[in-house]
Amino acid sequence: MNWLLLAFGSAFFAGLTAIFGKLGVEGMSSNLATFIRTIVVLFVSAGIISMRNEWQLPQHIAAKPLTFLILSGIATGLSWLCYYRALQLAPASWVAPIDKLSVVIAIVLGVVVLKEPISLQLVIGSSFILLGVLVLSL
- Domain co-membership, 97 together with 113: yes
Backbone angles phi, psi at 60, to 5 degrees: -140, 125
- Domain co-membership, 79 together with 54: yes
Query: What is the reported pTM?
Result: 0.83
- Domain co-membership, 29 together with 79: yes
Is residue 124 pLDDT above 80, yes or no? Answer: yes
- Domain co-membership, 50 together with 96: no
For the packed helices 63-89 and 92-99, what is the interaxial angle rounded to 10 degrees? Answer: 150
Mean pLDDT of 50-65: 88
Q: How confident is the model at residue 33 (pLDDT cuts 50, 70, 90)?
A: very high
Looking at residue 80, its pLDDT comes to: 94
Looking at residue 43, its pLDDT comes to: 97
Alpha-carbon distance 35 to 50, whole Å?
22
Looking at residue 1, its pLDDT comes to: 66
Mean pLDDT of 63-67: 90
Contacting residues for 129 by C-beta, under 8 A, at least 6 apart: 100, 101, 103, 104
Residue range of the domain that includes 77: 1-89
- Domain co-membership, 75 together with 44: yes
Backbone angles phi, psi at 26, to 5 degrees: -65, 125
- Domain co-membership, 46 together with 63: yes
From the centroid of its chain, how far is CA 15? 11
- Domain co-membership, 97 together with 85: no
